[in-house]
Structure formats: C-alpha cells, structure tokens
Amino acid sequence: MQGFEVYSDASVWQQTFDQLALFWSFEDVNATWVLVGSLLLGMSASVIGAFAFLRKRSLLGDALAHAALPGVMMAFLLSGSRDAEVIFSGALLSSLLGFWIIDWLPKNTKIKPDAALAITLSFMFALGLMLLSLIQSTDMPNKSGLDKLLFGQAAAITSEDIHLLVYVTSAVLITVILFFDKFRLIAFNRLYAQTLGISVRFYEFLLALMIVLSVVVGLQLVGVVLMAAILLTPIAAARFWSHQLSYLLLLAGIFGALSASIGAQISYIAPAMPTGPWIVVSLSLVFFVSFLVAPQNGLIKRYLDYRRLRLRVAQENILRTLYKLLERDHFKRNDFTVAQIIALRNIQVQTLKQTLKQLQKQGLVRELGDGFALSETGLRRAIELTRRHRLWESYLSQHADLTSEQVHQQAEHMEHILNQEHEEQIVAELMQRLSDPHGQPIPPKNTIEEL
C-alpha cells in the first residue's frame, strides 16, 4: 500500500531517549531555565502552601493568584514594559491588595471568611480579564502573550525570571526555617499561640507575604488558574505518608520538585504540551498514588487494617460467647457445639466454622469431638473481654442516660478497643462494683486461677 508507513515503536522510544539525554545534558539553555525555574517553584510553593493547607485556608493561594492578574495588566498599561521586575511588582501589589480585602471583609462585616475569599477571587479575576481585553484592543507593542499568564508559558521564561525565583525561593525557605516553631504553633493552635504572647498577626502577615511572593513569581510558569494546585496538592499528598510537620514539609517539597521535573521533561519531549499543566497533572498522579499506597494513611493500608479489625472482632466475639456458655453452666462444662454457639451469637454457620478454625490455629480454642472448648489462653482472653464489656456497661449505666440495650450495644464495640489503662481508670471510677447493669458478675482478674 503506497503512502503507508509502519509505525515503529523502537524509533519513537529511541527518539524519546535521545530527547531526554539532550535535556539532561543541559546544552539547551532554555530547557535548563525551565527545569531550574520549575524546581525552585515546586519546592518553595509546596513548602509555604503547606501552612495555608494546615490552617484550613486552602483557597487563599487560589484567591491571591487570581488577584495578581489586574496588577500585572495595570503594570503593563502604565509602563508598556513586560520586564520581569515590572510584572512582578504589579502582581505583588495587586495580590497584597487582594489579601487585605480577604482579611478586612470578615473583620468588619458579617461576611464569612470563605465568602470573602470567593468575592475577592471573582472580583479581582474579572477586573484582570477586563484590563486584558482593554490591552488587546489597543495598539500597544509587546502586548502579545499577556494572555499566556492565565495558564503559564514556561518556554518564555527568562534569566530575570530565574533570578526572581532564586530570591523568592531563598526568602521562603529561610523564613520557614527561622520561624518554623511559630508557624507550626499558629497553624495548629492559634489561640494557644496568643496566650503565649506570640504576635500572631505579624506571623500570619509574614506567612501570607511568603504565599503572595510564591504565587506571583510562579505566574510565568503555571499561570493564574493552576497556581493553587502547586501550593496545595503536594501537602495533600504528603498527609498520606506522615503526621509530623517537618516530614510533611520535606515530602511536600520533594513531591513539588519531582512533579516540576516531570513536567519540564515532558514539555521538552513534546513541545506542544505546556509545562504548567503537566506539572499539575504529575502532582495529581503523585496525589492519587499516595492516596492508594501510602503506608501511613493510604487506601489499601486502611482497607487492610479494617479487614484485620473485623476479623479480630469476629474472633473475640466467639471467645466471649464461649465464655458466656461456660458461665451459664457454672464452669462445670467446657465443650459446646456449633448449634449452642449460634443460639447465643447471631452468626452464619459457615462464618462461625471459619472463625473457629482461625481460633484453633492461634491456640485459643480446642476441638473436642463435635464441640469446641476454650484453651487456657483463650479463656484468659475471654475473661479479659467479658470483664471490659461489663465494666463499660456499668460505667455507661452510671454516667449516661441510656437504656440497658443501648448500654449493651455500646459495650459490644468498646470491649475490643479498651486497653489496660482504660480498664484501670474505669475500675477506679466504679469503686469496685461487682456486677453489670444486667446483674451479671464482672469477672475479677484472677478468675482463671479460681477456676
């Protein structure tokens, strides 16, 4: 067939490999600038954005990014210049004005903080779009490309932009290192920080200023619309991996830098694909991978924990049922059939047999002919569970206005969670109470020795 060329996977892979090799040779100055700029922005925005995320002000970065647009357009209208310093100054002043409006509205009106964010974001963005339309309708030189600030244009990054990124990244990271304790305290307990005499308003302004600087300096790379993703997605992904703030900031910085590197490489291999959106897509992939497989709070980990908990609860319920049968026969008989267990515990036969096999493997239950008996270890565990169940029933009966059935249902859950410390606290509270609200004896710790 004429004109038909067989698609060669090998040639595509070889071409991609050659492009990557050229990218990492740093011979292409523009590609190097894009990589360096993306890495600096990824690290600084991820670290400072973490504090906005932890203070539950995630939309602050988004609002400030949109608030920068009218400042950029006004700076261009007044100066006719697109120099990095001019654009940066206009965006900085505009974002600070947006921050002032966001802070002023809730304090001086009945408008809630989230509504103030939404109002400021929409107003400033609309104003910016109007100014952009005005500029497009004039014959001003250098006006082409201003609309690229909406989604970023990393390929147009200059050495002046890199210098600004270096200054801002250094300022952000040094500020976080110097005032880490203050920022941490304000992020988790603002009122406690005030009682310690810390100037909360000053550190909140300093934090907001660092966020504004990161937002403004990142407009050229990822644009107004996508800047919030650079600030928030890394820390959201890091939350699945750790609970310690220092590790969270480190992980957020690594995720931001990794995604920036991936975005820069893809846009270099495929020039039609912009860097900013690819950085955001890479960050989103990091987030979903973390959501699924993170060992601390990932979905798979939580699912496995849930399965283990359900299995343990099922096994402990059978142990306690065997103890109740034992107790019902005044401890004269330790051999009960499946039918006797089911009569006391609502459970399917197949599930019960599987659970009994699991208990046998753990040495907690022994099979005797057609019946099953608690081993010594199983009896100890069954006494412990029954004791905690009845103690909790007694505690609720004494301190909560619940019916006996409600008390029992609550204790069915709590008996699997209570530990030795909780048990001792309840015993001290109940003043050596001997029976539960249903009249059943609370087995003492030395029950097994007595038996």
Residue 235 parent element (H or E): helix 219-238
pLDDT for the residue numbered 354: 92
Claim to verify: residue 85 and residue 148 sit in the same structural domain:
yes
Q: Is residue 125 part of a domain?
A: yes
Q: For the chain, what is the domain count?
A: 2
- Residue 442: inside a domain, yes or no? no
User: Token digits for 54?
Assistant: 């932890």
Between helices 180-188 and 200-217, what is the axis angle to 10°?
100
5 located within any domain: no
Q: Do 283 and 421 fall into the same domain?
A: no
Q: Give pLDDT tens digits for 323-374.
A: 999 888 888 888 889 999 998 888 889 999 999 999 999 999 998 888 899 9
For residue 4, being part of any structural domain is answered with no
CATH code of the domain covering residue 370: 1.10.10.10
Which of 95, 73, 61 is CA-nearest to residue 227? 61
What's the confidence (pLDDT) of residue 8?
54
Tokens 């603002």 correspond to 190
Is 262 found in the same domain as 382? no
Residue 229 counted as domain residue: yes
Q: Examine the domain organization and report whether 120 and 205 are in the same domain.
A: yes
Using DSSP's 3-state secondary structure scheme, residue 337 falls into: strand
Q: Looking at residue 138, what is its pLDDT?
A: 87
pLDDT for residue 1? 45
Residue 63 lies in a domain: yes
- Answer whether residue 7 is part of any domain: no
| Spatial distance between the Cα atoms of 237 and 242, rounded to a whole number of angstroms | 10
Do 172 and 197 have their domain in common? yes
d(CA 410, CA 375): 28
Distances (CA, A) of 371 to 226, 339, 428: 66, 9, 39
Tell me the pTM.
0.79
* Range of the structural domain that residue 109 is part of: 12-293
Low-confidence ranges of the chain (pLDDT < 50): 1-4
